Every structure is written in structure tokens, then in C-alpha cells.
Chain A
């Protein structure tokens, strides 16, 4: 079984990586960088790189669930169910880890809960005297943010359609450079300030340089799978922390709701950008960009399918090329979506059990999904007035939403968005726990009553 990250080098020749991979996989890796390209283009323009990060997280929102390649339907269902629970847990663990990192940081480091300005994407302030004005401002902020995301997604689709792979690659490299170096430096600085630890600049430089360089290598080139997963979780957490800090209160909640709706539309509508991206990738028989999606197992089987359109989380099932499923690429900035991974036809699918491992490359989830889940839980932790119940309720709600999404994926076997169900549950539970459950539990706890 492969354990190395598929490399993104454009000069795809027969190196040790390809020799490790199954012979059938053509996998032009170059397209993986495609997703990262658009973000970097933005990043280079102004210093306010934070707002560009949303492109990053949109890109990684691809989420592939590799199930079983096309088999006779009864057998296929049995196998997808057999692997279903394992894949769900393979996604629960990184999502939980990301949320734990974000919540731990929010609860301990003051910096991320202080208000120090806003992103240029949310220009309207929420310090207004009336509630109606505040609501209006947050809706306007959301509209601006969502339109930026839509524009970036369409830009990425256009770039991808016209095969500007180098541009996309450069963009993605620039954005991960910024995440891995600048944001890590800021994060480390704030953590050291919180715990009052003195560190000199040479040591700091050494640490940040090593962390960033190894991260770039692991994410964009080759590296041990666990290290790559850890880095992807770290950059998702950093991105989520930036959002939690710079998005105003009400705007954050409205944006979360709006982006779930956008995700749903972009992935399921016939003319949605993400869907078009995935379809283009499937037509070209190109793999998904691994750099912006979290993959739980490194198996690039043959005929690997779609180049991961920009970050949308796509949940993918391996599909039988003969079966003409309609797949929706989770593409474009921040549209989590689920889509299917193309599989090698017959020969590999009929293998016995031991051979199934190489084929069933774990599950993949776009980084945008990680980021928005963590934003929801982090905001619940930041604003819940020191209450852990709200945070835990949102956490459980998101996990259940993810479970249901995976179930739907196993049933429908096509690209599905990963955000809507989880974010809806998360929002419902946040508002209801904060307003209804918290007073009840606080009163019970103060009287030491147990229910």
C-alpha cells in the first residue's frame, strides 16, 4: 500500500514514486497544484493575506471517500457498508483533532478572541447602535464574502478548463507558503506571549523555517502520510483561527449558513462551478490535487480520477468507469463537495480481500470542510461565555452531520457537499444550547441537581 503523498511535480517521470504506484495509474500530478494556484494569485497582491485564505480553504474542500470500485450492485453495497464505518472514523479523528487544536487555542490564547479589525472582505462594522443595522451589516458582509468565493471558484474553473496548470500550481504554493510561515510565526508568537516564554529570534527563525520547509515538502511533494495529515490539520486550524479572529460575530454565523447553501448549490446544480470542475477533471482522467485535501490513506489507484478541483470538499466514492455516474467535483474556493474517484476497471475490482487494500484508498476530505467545522466550534468556544456545554454540543452535532453525510454518500454514490448537514446541525445546536440548555444546566449545577 502506498504511503507517500502523490507528488505534484510536473515532470512526472518514472521515479521511485511512480514505481511504487500501481502501474495502471496515469495520474498526471500536475493538476493537483491547480487548485492552489488561484489562492496564491490573490495572496501576492496585498498584505492582507488573511482574506485570501478563504480561497485556500475552499480549495481543499474536496472530500473523497473511496469505496469499492464498481461491482455487482449487491456486493458493492455490502462492501461500501463494510468499509463505511471505518471510513467514518478515519474522518472523525482528524476533524476532532483540528477542532481540539482550535478550541484549546481559543480558550488559552487571548489574541484570537480580541477584536483587532476586520478583513477587507467584511467591510461593514458590527458596532452599530441598532439591532436592525447590525443584522443588515452582517448580511452585507456575507454577500460580499460569498461573492468573492464564487468569483474565485469560477476563476479557478476557468483556469482549469484552459489548462493553466502552472498558474494554479504557483497560486497554491504561494498560499501554503503564507500559511506555513507567516501564520505559524504569528501563532507561535502569541502562544509564547500567553505562556510568558522568552525565545530569541535565531531560535524562532530556526523553528519556523524547519516547520515551514518540511510542511511545504510534505504537502506539495512527498512525505510520510502521517506527517502530511498533521500538516494539513495544522494549516486548517490556523486558517480557522484567522477566521475566528477577524470575522465579526453575527457575520460569522450568517457566513457559515450561507456557505453551506452555496456548497449545496455549487455541487448539486448542473451548472454549479464545482460540478463542472469535477466533470472536466473526469473527462480528462486526471487526479485530484492532493495538496489541498486531507487523505486518510495514500492509495492512488489506477485511473485516478479527478484532479481535485479547487478546495471544495468533495466526498468521493470510487466508481466504475463503465457506470456513467455523474460526479460532482468539489471544486472551487471553498465548496466542500463530495465526488467520486475514478477507479480502475475490472482487473482490480475483482480481487480478493487482501488486494482490496491497495484499491480502497481511504477517505479524503477537503480542507475547507475542516476549516468551517473548526470555525463553528471555535466561535462557540469563544463566545459561549466560558461555557463548555455549547462547544461540546456543537462538536457532537458536527460529527453526527458528518456521519449522515457519509451515509448519504454510500447511498447515492456521487459527489455530495460535506458542509450543509453538519453546519446546519451545528448552528441549530449552538443557538439552542446557548439560549435554552445553558440556563437550565447552570441552574441545575448550582443546586447540585442531577437529571
Chain B
């Protein structure tokens, strides 16, 4: 393991999230604050899930063997449910904050709920990705041989890609979730929770990386398309954007002339 593995895996896992942060969040102070608040909410949800897992572990008496595995599965599922519950709680908090900000300065443009959905999804995703992967990353800098005891040698690459897909999924889940809450379409919430459970459950097939990754990325692409349409995009706007004929681009190029 070398610096090459470290940098490669770090950029794979966190590159897109970092780019999204730099281009969309870093310029606006309010968005940074909402991002960090989202990360904090995810952290609290993780804390609660660890507490539940710990209590379940002490109740069953820390026996080794299959009990631990079932306990872990239980912990993962409970954690997913708690994360989604906290996503809902963050939605409620943002709604209240938005109303408060609007009441106080009516002419000031406060961020729209869609933007906050994206920011909160990114906050959840970044925190989730970082907590899952950073210890593995720091181990990859040190000495050792991966897979020396018969495990897969693609441990790091797989973890990096998995982290990336989780981060992107959190963004799309955030957008779809908030939209579902806004329009009171509870089936959207249910789909988000179910896909989250599905993606986490897929990781139980741990040594079979291929099917795990392919399915997760498929789900990510589908969620991405759904989030794109939910956020107001359409085939027409996509075409305009790709052909550099959309309104923002035209305005921008006119200004620079």
C-alpha cells in the first residue's frame, strides 16, 4: 500500500463531493452553515444507532459467533431507519427556519427548499462517506499487504467506490425526500427508505464485489434521474444545457461581452 492507493482512493471517494462543495456551496455562507448542520444531524443519528447497537449487544451478552453477525445486521437496519428519521427531522427544522427567515426579512432571498434539500443531502452524504472511509484511508498509507490472509485484494478500491455511491445516493435521497415531504407524497419517502435499506443490505454480500457495486450504481443512476425530474429538470432543459443554450449560460456569456 502506498501513497498512490491513498490518493487514488481518496479522490475516487471524495472527488465529486469536494467538487460539488467547491462549486455550489463554498461561495454562500448560509449554505455552508446548512451543510454543517446537516452533517451534525447525521452524526447525531449515528450516535443514536451506535447506542442502540451497544445496548442490544450488552443485552445479548457479547457472545461470539453468529449472534454478533445478527446483531450487526440489526444495527445496520436500525441505523438506516434512524438516519431517515433524522432526515425528516432536519426537513422540519429547515421548514421552521425558512419561515422564520422569511418573516424577518421578507425581501431577502432565502434559499429555496429544493436548494436546502440538495445541501442537506450533501451534508448527510459527506459525513456518512467520511465516517465510513477515513479510517480505512489512513490505514492505506501505512505498511501492509492487502488480502494476505485470503481476503480480496480489491478492498480499498471497492470501499472507495462504495463510499462514492453512498455520497451521491444521499444527495439524491435528500432531494427526493424533501420533495416528497413538500408535496405530501408519502410514497416517495417510502421508496427512499426502501432503497436505502436495499443498498445497505447489498453490502452484506461483501466479498462479491461485482454484484454489490453494479446494483448500487444502478440504483444510484435511477435515483439520480428521479431527483433530476423532481428538481425541475426535463429532457428539454438537459438538451439546452448540453448545447450551451440554456438561459444561465446565455446570460453569463452576454455579461462577459
Residue numbers of A with Cβ under 8 A of B are 77-78, 81-82, 85-86, 88-89, 92, 386-389, 392-393, 396-397, 399-400, 403, 429, 432-433, 436-437, 439-445, 447-451
Contact = CB atoms under 8 A, between A and B. Distances in A.
Contact of B131 (A82, A88, A389, A448): A389
A349 B56 CA distance: 60
Interface in B29-43: 29-30, 32-33, 36-37, 39-40, 43
Which residue, B50, B51, B130, B138, has most C-beta atoms of chain A within 10 A? B50
Interface in B108-163: 108, 127-128, 130-132, 134-136, 138, 155, 158-159, 162-163
Given A448-B158, A450-B203, A442 B135 contact: yes
B75 A440 contact: yes
B29 A85 contact: yes
B193 interface: no
Given A397-B40, A450-B162, A451-B49, A388 B104 contact: no
The list of the 6 closest CB pairs from A to B, nearest first, reads: A85-B29, A89-B29, A440-B50, A436-B50, A78-B105, A85-B30
A400 B127 CA distance: 14
B108 A437 contact: no
Residue of A78, A387, A437 ringed by the most chain B CB atoms within 10 A:
A437
23 contacts: A81-B104, A81-B108, A386-B138, A389-B134, A392-B130, A399-B36, A400-B36, A400-B40, A436-B47, A437-B50, A441-B131, A441-B132, A442-B135, A444-B72, A444-B76, A444-B132, A445-B135, A445-B136, A445-B159, A449-B76, A450-B162, A450-B199, A451-B128
Given A433-B47, A441-B132, 17 more contacts: A77-B104, A78-B105, A78-B108, A81-B108, A85-B29, A89-B33, A92-B32, A389-B135, A393-B43, A397-B43, A436-B54, A437-B46, A444-B76, A445-B135, A445-B159, A449-B72, A450-B132
B14 interface: no
A439 B47 CA distance: 11
B101 interface: yes
B54 A448 contact: no
A449 B204 contact: yes
A440 B75 CA distance: 9
B206 interface: yes
Contacts of A78: 104-105, 108
Interface of B: 29-30, 32-33, 36-37, 39-40, 43, 46-47, 49-51, 53-54, 72, 75-76, 79-80, 83, 101, 104-105, 108, 127-128, 130-132, 134-136, 138, 155, 158-159, 162-163, 166, 199-200, 203-204, 206
A388 B133 CA distance: 10
Contacts of A444: 72, 75-76, 132
A83 to B, nearest CB: 10
A388 B204 contact: no
B61 to A, nearest CB: 16
A66 to B, nearest CB: 16
A268 to B, nearest CB: 25
A197 B205 CA distance: 48
B96 to A, nearest CB: 13
Contacts of A445: 132, 135-136, 159
B46 A396 contact: no
Chain B CB within 10 A, most for which of A78, A443, A448: A448
B48 to A, nearest CB: 9
A403 B79 CA distance: 27
A50 B166 CA distance: 46
Nearest to A107: B138
Nearest to A441: B131
Contacts of B130: 392
Contact of B206 (A89, A442, A447): A447
Contacts of B37: 400, 403
A448 B128 CA distance: 14
Contacts of A386: 138
Nearest to B55: A436
A88 B29 contact: yes
A441 B83 CA distance: 15
